[in-house]
Amino acid sequence: MTVNNETGAIQPVEEIAELARERGICFHTDAVQAAGHLKIDASKVDMLSLSGHKFGGPKGVGLLYIREGIRVAPLLHGGGQEQRLRSGTENVPSVVGMSHALQLANRGLSDTQERWKELRAAFTERLLGGLEGIAINGGETGIPSTINVSFQGVEASAILVFLDLKGIRCSGGSACTSSRNEPSHVLSAMGVGEDMIRGSIRLSMSIDTTMEEMMTVADVMIETVTKLRAQRAGKGM
């Protein structure tokens, strides 16, 4: 992955691609979480994939970049469309919509990143000021629009129920692992304790996210975690 989909951590893709190229290895990166959030230089890798819905485009359409000279087996056989790589009728409206959405997402990206940094800083400051026993996973080295926070002594599933009732949509991990009732392998690999992992929430910001919204989310989280911890303490008495 160019950007980890749970913590937002930016991986050293260019360095890995160079190591792979020196050894004659074809290198592909999943840049789904990076598009529209981070400047991407596709020329540094052999293959790169994106998903339209991650940067405001239509759902169900994606992009695969293939460096000139790289040969791949056809996905579908038949009419020979798309240079014999994927036969069948192209979904032109979605392709055009994705292309336009990517242009819009990259327009003024530097300014958007700075605004995300401000929102993230204010959000984490509010949380840290209102609660103890929490940790921000991934630090400041990742993309600012993805935040993974752990709350000690509470279950993420319980937090998500309360947030959902308030109209706040976030997750206990990546969408890819949302159906698994297992501790995050990503946070485990980072050395995060299981108690903290089970209380981990992931939030993602869009270009439309406002400071008011982030402060509301922080306040609701503080209220929710405080209540859940009090309930747990009461049951333990």
Distance from C-alpha of 224 to C-alpha of 145, rounded to nearest angstrom: 23
Q: DSSP letters along 15-54, please?
A: HHHHHHHHTT---EEE-TTTTTTS---GGGSSEEEEEGGG
* Beta-strand pair 134-137/62-66: unpaired
Within a 13 Å sphere around the CA of 9, how many CA atoms are in the beta-carbon half?
13
DSSP state of 11: P
Active site residue 170: no
Choose, from 176, 211, 230, 233, the residue flagged as catalytic. 176
Annotated catalytic residues are: 176
